[in-house]
């Protein structure tokens, strides 16, 4: 269904009568961190020595590094120094004795799993096996084994085979075959009602993304009447299919029921309420629009919630104060080896490894130490630990620590920033959660999760294609290449600076985006374009990146033109706002 541009002017005029005058985007709070006590492990002389040691090893000057190591007073970071040496891709060939000795002394440190695998490969016959790495997470007791009858085992095997076949058909965009397999499985009573409803909704979604709205609506209606998560998904797909068919009343009904079904899931609830408001507006029922937008805006940290809040003229308020970190909190964790190494690494400007160290401490610690670890991560400005810890605390304790959820890392790309930092951080947060060592199952690497082939193309460096290259672990290079790739996409003749399309292309590939644009079943509607993307990962990615962008704009005290554009039903076009002189 096409919503004409005058409708967006109508909603703006209508909501101005209902909402008080907006104060504009939230302003950034002063980012002052009170420091009642100093955090230090290394003396100034050792800080300088470690920096020179790491620099010497970067040049593969092992003799100079060894000379400097002998002058150290505190060897707390020797494990990291030796790890970089032993794992060097081409300038150092480590012996089994060196690797085994490292595992004996540093098995709890980051990189132990990788070094252990190398040690196992190089272990000579007759030599004792190296020490195993210390697990990076608290170990859970194994789940008790179920005693199943032969009949139950056969049922589970048949169910698994059916689920696998259906998933494969959906992956290959073959909803007809997936549906046929589901009904055959249903005749054999392989699935419980909730599982059946969920699978039905997924097949309905596949029909919708294939452009078959009638079939999508038919199956979605069946799913919406079922049980479990399929009830929300069925109503959601039914609402989208009815919208594209031009049936605003049917669409609104589905979206309103989806809002109720997703009441405990903020992102889904705000999305359904927002689309219900759109459908009611299309049906010229303005009395329902404000109520539904109000429901969407209740979750104003979500994509659709932020847009609804902006349409209602409401401020989106964040608190950028850092979490408290009193001395007593530091005292509870200061004796942990990983904490001391993290502090020392931050002192020598190795933020990447400091972040990994403290993340391991978090994963291995009991819950009563987590608040203190988050406070230290904030004090040291370790972005990856901050995001992961803050997300867990948000889910577990319903506590929002905005400064940790949206940290501002101290990374600087080679050559500096040529795109607004808010944009780069928005992508980085979604790609890797600021983990410099992140490697995806597909092989994407580093902060910006660059595929080696893409990095090689953008950087004009064939060595980046090598599977053994660790260059993309370097934050300065990784961000520089990721930034250049975003610029490349923004300048594409089909993207034309459109940030929504650029985000979709960064995740799903520019070729896919061009095909989705050519399909043209979204009526120049940015919201329908998002929901029509056939790749679930890319649909979610686009909304998360844009939400991140708006949060970072607000943290930096900037306006949010991309949010304003979408609130008016327009495509968000990138407008640089950073002061390049600063």
H-helix segments, 283-350: 286-297, 303-311, 327-333, 337-347
Tokens describing residue 530: 């998002």
Closest CA to 481 of 516, 505, 457: 457
In whole angstroms, what is the distance from residue 579 CA to residue 253 CA?
47
Backbone angles phi, psi at 450, to 5 degrees: -90, 135
Place of tokens 């707390």: 76
In whole angstroms, what is the distance from residue 388 CA to residue 34 CA?
23
Is 431 labeled as catalytic in the residue annotation? yes
Other C-beta atoms closer than 10 Å to the C-beta of 285 total: 15
The kind and range of the H/E element at 164 are helix 150-171
Q: Are 241 and 216 in contact (CB under 8 A)?
A: yes
In whole angstroms, what is the distance from residue 174 CA to residue 179 CA?
9
Q: Are 497 and 172 in contact (CB under 8 A)?
A: no
Closest CA to 455 of 444, 439, 441: 444
In whole angstroms, what is the distance from residue 69 CA to residue 394 CA?
43
Tokens describing residue 524: 């120049």
Is residue 45 classed as helix, strand or coil in its secondary structure?
helix
In whole angstroms, what is the distance from residue 415 CA to residue 495 CA?
25
The kind and range of the H/E element at 413 are none
| Active-site choice (431, 433, 531, 562) | 431
- Positions marked active-site: 431
């Amino acid at each position: 269904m096409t919503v004409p541009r005058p409708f967006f002017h109508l909603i703006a005029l209508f909501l101005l009568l209902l909402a008080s005058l907006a104060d504009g985007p939230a302003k950034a709070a002063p980012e002052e961190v009170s420091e009642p006590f100093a955090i230090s492990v290394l003396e100034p002389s050792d800080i300088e020595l470690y920096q020179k040691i790491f620099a010497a090893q970067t040049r593969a000057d092992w003799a100079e590094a060894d000379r400097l190591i002998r002058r150290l007073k505190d060897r707390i970071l020797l494990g990291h120094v030796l790890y970089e040496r032993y794992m060097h891709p081409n300038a150092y060939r480590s012996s089994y004795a060196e690797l085994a000795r490292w595992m004996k002394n540093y098995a709890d440190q980051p990189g132990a799993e990788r070094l252990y695998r190398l040690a196992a490969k190089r272990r000579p016959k007759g030599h004792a096996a190296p020490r195993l790495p210390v697990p990076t997470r608290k170990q859970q007791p194994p789940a008790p084994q179920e005693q199943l009858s032969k009949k139950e085992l056969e049922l589970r095997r048949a169910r698994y085979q059916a689920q696998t076949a259906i998933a494969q058909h959906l992956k290959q965009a073959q909803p007809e075959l997936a549906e046929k397999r589901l009904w055959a499985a249903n005749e054999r009573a392989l699935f419980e009602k909730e599982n059946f409803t969920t699978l039905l909704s997924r097949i309905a979604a596949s029909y919708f993304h294939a452009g078959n709205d009638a079939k999508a609506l038919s199956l979605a209606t069946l799913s919406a009447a079922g049980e479990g998560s399929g009830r929300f998904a069925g109503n959601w797909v039914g609402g989208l299919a009815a919208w594209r068919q031009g049936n605003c009343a049917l669409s609104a009904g589905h979206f309103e029921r989806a809002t109720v079904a997703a009441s405990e899931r903020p992102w889904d609830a705000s999305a359904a309420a927002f689309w219900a408001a759109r459908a009611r507006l299309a049906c010229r029922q303005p009395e329902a629009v404000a109520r539904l937008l109000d429901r969407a805006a209740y979750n104003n940290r979500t994509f659709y919630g932020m847009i609804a809040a902006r349409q209602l003229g409401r401020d989106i308020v964040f608190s950028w104060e850092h979490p408290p970190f009193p001395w007593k909190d530091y005292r509870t964790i200061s004796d942990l080896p990983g904490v001391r190494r993290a502090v020392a690494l931050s002192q020598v400007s190795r933020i990447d490894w400091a972040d990994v160290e403290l993340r391991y401490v978090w994963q291995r610690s009991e819950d009563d130490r987590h608040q203190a670890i988050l406070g230290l991560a904030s004090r040291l400005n370790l972005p990856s630990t901050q995001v992961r810890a803050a997300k867990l605390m948000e889910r577990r304790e319903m506590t929002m620590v905005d400064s940790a959820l949206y940290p501002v890392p101290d990374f600087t790309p080679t050559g500096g920033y040529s795109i607004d930092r808010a944009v780069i951080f928005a992508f980085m947060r979604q790609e890797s959660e600021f983990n410099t060592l992140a490697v995806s199952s597909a092989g994407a690497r580093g902060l910006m999760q660059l595929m080696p082939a893409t990095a090689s193309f953008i950087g004009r460096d064939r060595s980046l294609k090598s599977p053994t290259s660790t260059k993309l672990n370097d934050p300065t290079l990784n961000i520089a290449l990721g930034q250049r790739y975003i610029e490349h996409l923004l300048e594409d003749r089909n993207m034309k600076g459109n940030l929504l399309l650029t985000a979709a292309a960064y995740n799903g590939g520019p070729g896919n985006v061009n095909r989705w644009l050519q399909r043209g079943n979204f009526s120049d509607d940015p919201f329908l374009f998002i929901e029509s993307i056939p790749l679930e990962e890319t649909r979610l990615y686009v909304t998360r990146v844009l939400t991140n962008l708006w949060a970072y704009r607000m943290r930096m005290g900037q306006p949010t033109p991309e949010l304003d554009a979408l609130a008016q039903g327009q495509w968000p076009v990138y407008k640089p706002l950073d002061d390049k002189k600063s």
